[in-house]
């Protein structure tokens, strides 16, 4: 497996642990519907969140969250629509970004709740 895949998987593991500590249950990881994918789908008492995780080993090219482009957001929204239709969830939904910067054995997590909106629901 390529190193960038290992970094991404490690970041997703950290993001899941972080969300679980905040009271979320992880429903799915790397959920696919056709060519669309959501890194983490999680649920608490209020929301189902569709989270995009961006993990980087530094910020020399910018903070990780800036790499969640408008097109990526549209793709996640489409995947979320399909997910809700398939599983018939009625909870409020939210789109989050979890940005992780690795610094040797240490890391920082920046959780951006409700990072972007949709008029769909």
- pLDDT score of 104: 86
Residues 6+ apart with CB under 8 A from 51: 15, 19, 38, 39, 40, 41, 42, 95, 96, 97, 98
52 backbone dihedrals φ, ψ, rounded to 5°: -100, 130
Which pLDDT score, from 0 to 100, does residue 81 have?
Answer: 94
Q: Would you state the pLDDT for residue 60?
A: 86
Which tokens is 115 given? 């990072």
Question: Could you say which residues of the chain have pLDDT below 70?
Answer: 1-5, 120-121
Residue 2 is predicted with a pLDDT of 52
88: left (phi over 0), alpha (psi -120 to 50) or beta: left
**So what's the pLDDT on residue 1?**
45
How high is the pLDDT of residue 105? 85
Report the phi/psi class of residue 36: left, alpha or beta, with left for phi > 0 and alpha for psi in -120 to 50: beta
């Amino acid at each position: 497996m390529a190193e960038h895949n290992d970094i991404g998987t490690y970041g997703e593991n950290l993001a899941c642990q972080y969300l679980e500590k905040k009271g979320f249950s992880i429903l799915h990881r790397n959920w696919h519907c056709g060519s669309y994918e959501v890194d983490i789908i999680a649920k608490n008492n209020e929301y189902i969140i569709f989270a995009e995780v961006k993990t980087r080993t530094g910020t020399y090219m910018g903070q990780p969250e800036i790499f969640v482009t408008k097109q990526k957001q549209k793709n996640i929204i489409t995947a979320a629509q399909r997910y809700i239709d398939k599983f018939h969830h009625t909870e409020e939904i939210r789109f989050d970004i979890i940005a992780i910067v690795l610094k040797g054995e240490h890391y920082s997590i920046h959780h951006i709740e409700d990072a972007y909106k949709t008029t769909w629901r």
